[in-house]
Structures are given as C-alpha cells and as structure tokens.
A and B are shown apart, each in its own frame.
Chain A
Amino acid sequence: MALLSIADLSVSFHTEDGAMSIVEDVSFEVGAGEIVGLVGESGCGKSVTAMSIMGLLPSDISRIDKGTIELEGKSLLDLGEAAMCKVRGDRMGMIFQEPMTSLNPTYTIGFQLIEALRLHRSLSSAEARGSVIEMLRLVGVSAPERRVDQYPHELSGGLRQRVMIAMALICRPSLLIADEPTTALDVTVQAQILELLLHLKKELGMAILLITHDLGVVAEFCERVLVMYAGRIIEQTTVEELYARPRHPYTLGLLDAMPRISSPAGKLPTIPGIVPSPGNRPDGCYFVERCAHSSARCSTKHPPLDGDPPHQFACWNPVA
C-alpha cells in the first residue's frame, strides 16, 4: 500500500471574481521511502496540491471539491482540525521556499525546535533539548550546542534551511513535503541541501515529495516525476524514462528549454504562449493553444491520464 495516495483531487478558489478551479482531477501515489518530484511552472497548482495534503489551504477562499487524500491509510480530508494538528508535523512535515522568513525572528531556534517536538511528544525540556541538539547535528549544523540559543537572524540562509529541515523532521514523519526548498538559496548551498535531504532520507527512511520547477534538480534527486500543467498532472513516470522518452509535448518542450553545455550558443528553444490562467482554460486539452502536435480532437475533449504504469501521460497525440 502506498504511503500517500491522492485520488481525483480537485481544488477551487472562491474569490470576488468568482470560482476558479486551481487543481483538477489530480491522482498520484507516493510509496514509503520514495522520492517523487512534482514539477511545473509557477501557478500550475503544485503548491496548492501540497497545501491540500497538509490541510493548510486558506479556509476562507479555497474548497476541496472532490477527491481523497490518504496518508498511511488514513483519510486526511475526513479529519477535523484537531486531529489534523496531530498528523501535521508528526506524520508529515513540510519545508518551505523561504528559509529567511519561515522562522519566527523573536525566538531562538532552540525554542522553535523544542516547540515542534513537544507539540507531539511529551518530553521534559532537558530531554527535548537533547533531541534538538542531536537533530541539529544530524542536519549538519556545526556546534549545535551553541546554535540552539541563537536567533534566526544570526544564521545564514543555508543554516536556516537546515534548521527548517530539522524542525520538519524532528518528529520523524514518514512523509516530507519540500516546497521548492532550494529556490531561495545559492547554487552551492542548493547542492548541499539536496545532498542533506538524500542523506536524511537514507538515515530516517521517510518519503519525500519534492516540489520544484527545476528539472535539473529532479534528474539528480528524484526516483519518479509528476509533471503538472494548468492544474492537472499531464505526465508521470520514472526519472530515466522521462528524460529518455518524454511523451507529452509539454514535457518535451520543458526538456528542450533546458540549457545544455553541449548545445550550440544562441537562443534557447521556448514554448510559445503562456499558461492559461485559471478561469481562462480552454475546452479540451489545456495545452492545445501552445502545442505543435495538436489535432481537432485536442480542442474539444480533455485527454485522460493514460498509458501503462509506470509511464502515464495525458495526450491525444503523444510524442513518439
């Protein structure tokens, strides 16, 4: 049984401009200890999907229209807020894009890590402090005994991201959702953080859902990839398969748009047009207006996610 399984998830936002469908019919699974990449452009619904799993969607404007989310066999959408608080941080953790602002500037990192731990475990402060120092050491923070008493502003961006990771993992969750964890960091620090996540995955055995728009990161880091476009998953497969034989024209476009050292100097190929905004999505396939392979059927009927596992794609005219 999969650790996390999402079926037919649809999320819409209700604002003054009316209802907008953000995520549509998203289904996927993450196995225990697996690293799955969720890639797509800004605004394609990656973060909303992650927030739906965490149960952190803004309750006043968003609505989960249909679908199920199960973690370790437990249906998360049926849990009340109090029960959800017990799952969050304990069974699943999340790290965010902005390590600079994701720590409360008014408390020491020790206070915040101990808080994260004691929300779910009844430990004395001394015991909690011990575990926190041990966790900081595990995420590669040097001199953790000294660091615990420092404030976030005394740490560099890379160190703060390590602290965020320590916070998300302190209760040893079985799933870690990493929402663009390296986007705000220097390239060298990015590599260190990704290395660290890999190392921690081996050490603690949790699964990782890595949300990113960086296909390079996916190639290096993930076992399986989900490609999202305009709120839908349009292709999912193993990393090797995706890079060797992309079937959806959008995936192909993304891969072609990546700069390569071997490619001749000159303009990079791009995908023409822009992502249709929620509310302006065309009938049929959402990629039809930008697609070089489109046919008449594409603009009338939405292609389902189809094909033999593990390689599935939603396209009427897949790339050969």
Chain B
Amino acid sequence: MSRNFGKFLKRRIAVTGAVVITVICVAAIGAPFLAPYNPSEQFFDGLTLEGAPLPPNERFWFGTDLLGRDLFSRILYGARTSLIIGIVANGIAVLLGTVLGVTAGYAQGWVGAFIMRFTDLMMAFPALLLAIALAAIFKPSLWIVAMVIAMVNWVQVARVIYGQTLSLAAQDYIEAVRSLGAHWSRILFVHIVPHILPTVLVWATLGIATTVLLEATLSFLGIGVQPPTPSWGNIIFENQSYFTTAPWLVFLPGAAIVLLALSFNLVGDALRDILDPTQKGRTAG
C-alpha cells in the first residue's frame, strides 16, 4: 500500500489533481469561516445603479450576481452542494451499478436476465424524465436530488460492469480455480471483483462530472437544489440571462465544475494505472 502511495506521489499531474480536490473540500467545509459574506445576503451596493451585476472588484472578488449577492461566497457554499452531489449521489450510483452488474454477470441465468432487462428498461427510459418524475413525487431537497441522480446514473455503470464480469467469468483461470474446489463466493471476491475495481474507479471519477452537471440541469428546471441554497449548477442557470453582459457569473462557477471534474479524472486515471492488477509486477512505464 505504501508502495502504491509512493507511485502516486511520482505522478505530478495526479498530485496536482489531489491538491485541487483537497482545496475544494477544505473550501466547502470551511465555507462559513472562509466566505467574506453571507451567500444569501443581497447587497444594495452589489448592483449598479441600472441594476446590473458588478464585475469582480476589491470588495466582491468574483463580482456579484443578478440579485447583488457576493459570487465568491456563493461559489464557496455551492462547493458543498456540488461535492455532496458528486460524491454521495455518484457514489451510490456506482455502488448500485457495480453490485447489480457483478451479480447479473456472475449469477447469469434468470437472475442475470432479470437484472439486465430491468437495466435495459431504465436505459431506454429518458433519464431526465425519470428525474423530473421522481423529483415531483418527493419534495426536492439536497438529499432527494442526490437520490434521484443516483437512481438515474447507476444504469451505465451496471451495463459496463456486467459486460466485464461476464467476460471475466468465462476466463480459463476461473474454471481452473473452480476445479480446485473454490466456492463461488471465493471466486467472486478473490478472482473477479479485484479485476473490476479499476473500471469502477474510472467510472466513479468520470461520474462526478456527469452528476454535477445533471444537478445543474435539474436546478435549471426548478427541481434541483432549491434556491437560495447555492450550487454551482444553479448559480450558472440563475445567471444565464446575463451571460453576455456579465460573463463571469457563468464562467467562474463553470470553471469550478471543470476544475473539480478534471481533478477527479486525473486522480482516477492515476489510481487506475497504479491499481490495475494486470500491471502488477511489471515495471512502471
């Protein structure tokens, strides 16, 4: 494990990604102390005399939004929402997808057929429509939005993991291990699951970008995280009408989303390379 950690430290880009993630996490946790203003406070002098948002200046570092609120404070608080969505919603989606995919791929037979037909059904159903329906049934809140996103996003993970489990289960060495008298649970956890982890890891990191964007979409439709709670997605959509006159209102939260997604991807890529079991014992390339 410590050797893997050493390998990770050698990859500068991945370390940069990890640092960015850490900074964003610290910012999210420490938002009440770090934010210069209350994110919901509308400043009288936060708007020009014509009522337009202010560009970045000494008082409001990132400028103000359409209601005269401090954008920097809103982005700090928005990091909480986006991280919770990105980590919790995506984590649940990946976990659910992995468990179902592995079960279907390993059990096969009617269990596998049932799970995969259900997955196909979910895949064929428009994700956004499902999200809207679910959000309409439950009262939208941060946690409900996280659940809704998880319910929509596990499907692709399940498909990919199913395919991989299926091909792994057909490997000669699985048969060889069976011939040695290994029980199904041992084969599953010692010989199949470790091979799947790199894929899971990549999906876990790629999914963060997707979930953060899906949350933004839902916020735009009014069924995401409810204002005044800021999220990076709803900041963009609240302010999109000012895109030409006040581009920073869209650009800065957008940059935050890109930075977070990119950092997770970089870390995920490095972890995959390091943890890939087929690369063990080979000299690092």
Contacts and interface: CB of A to CB of B under 8 A. Distances in A.
A164 B183 contact: no
A106 B190 CA distance: 10
A120 B179 contact: no
B22 interface: no
A87 B181 contact: yes
A59 B110 CA distance: 12
A56 B179 contact: yes
Contacts of A54: 179
A154 B282 CA distance: 9
A103 interface: yes
Given A88-B181, A89-B181, A151 B176 contact: no
Contact of B182 (A85, A87, A164): A85
A96 B173 CA distance: 9
A56 B277 contact: no
Task: Give the interface residue-count category, chain B.
Answer: 20 to 34
Interface in B99-115: 108-109
Contact of A164 (B109, B176, B195, B281): B176
A90 B182 CA distance: 11
A87 B178 CA distance: 11
B175 interface: yes
Contact of B109 (A60, A98, A101): A60
A153 B231 CA distance: 49
B194 interface: yes
Contact of B173 (A94, A102, A119): A102
A116 B179 CA distance: 10
Nearest to A150: B281
B13 interface: no
Given A98-B172, A101-B171, A85 B190 contact: no
Interface in B165-189: 171-173, 175-184, 186
B139 interface: no
A151 B277 CA distance: 11
A154 B281 contact: yes
Contacts of A143: none
A151 B283 CA distance: 13
B162 to A, nearest CB: 16
Given A96-B172, A96-B176, A106 B194 contact: yes
Contacts of B194: 106
Nearest to A149: B281
Interface in A149-207: 150-151, 153-154, 164, 167-168
B120 to A, nearest CB: 19
A56 B178 contact: yes
A59 B112 CA distance: 14
A88 B108 CA distance: 23
A88 B179 contact: yes
B280 interface: yes
A86 B194 CA distance: 25
Nearest to B277: A106
A191 B191 CA distance: 32
Query: Which of B108, B179, B191: most chain A Cβ within 10 A?
Result: B179
A101 B176 CA distance: 9
B278 interface: yes
A115 interface: yes
A105 B278 CA distance: 6
Contacts of B177: 104, 115
Given A105-B278, A106-B194, A150-B281, A115 B180 contact: yes
B187 to A, nearest CB: 10
Given A60-B109, A151-B281, A154-B281, A96 B180 contact: no
Contacts of A89: 179-182
Given A106-B194, A150-B281, A119 B172 contact: no
Contact of B178 (A60, A88, A101, A154): A88
Nearest to B190: A115
Contact of B180 (A81, A119, A151): A119
Per CB-CB distance, the 3 closest pairs between chain A and chain B, nearest first, are A89-B181, A106-B277, A89-B180
Interface of B: 108-109, 171-173, 175-184, 186, 190-191, 194-195, 277-278, 280-282
Given A85-B182, A105-B277, 11 more contacts: A56-B175, A60-B108, A81-B184, A89-B182, A93-B180, A94-B179, A101-B171, A104-B191, A120-B181, A151-B281, A153-B281
17 contacts: A54-B179, A56-B178, A85-B182, A86-B181, A88-B178, A88-B181, A89-B179, A94-B176, A101-B173, A102-B172, A105-B278, A106-B278, A115-B180, A119-B180, A119-B182, A153-B282, A167-B176
Interface of A: 54, 56, 59-60, 81-82, 85-90, 93-94, 96, 98, 101-106, 108, 115-116, 119-120, 150-151, 153-154, 164, 167-168
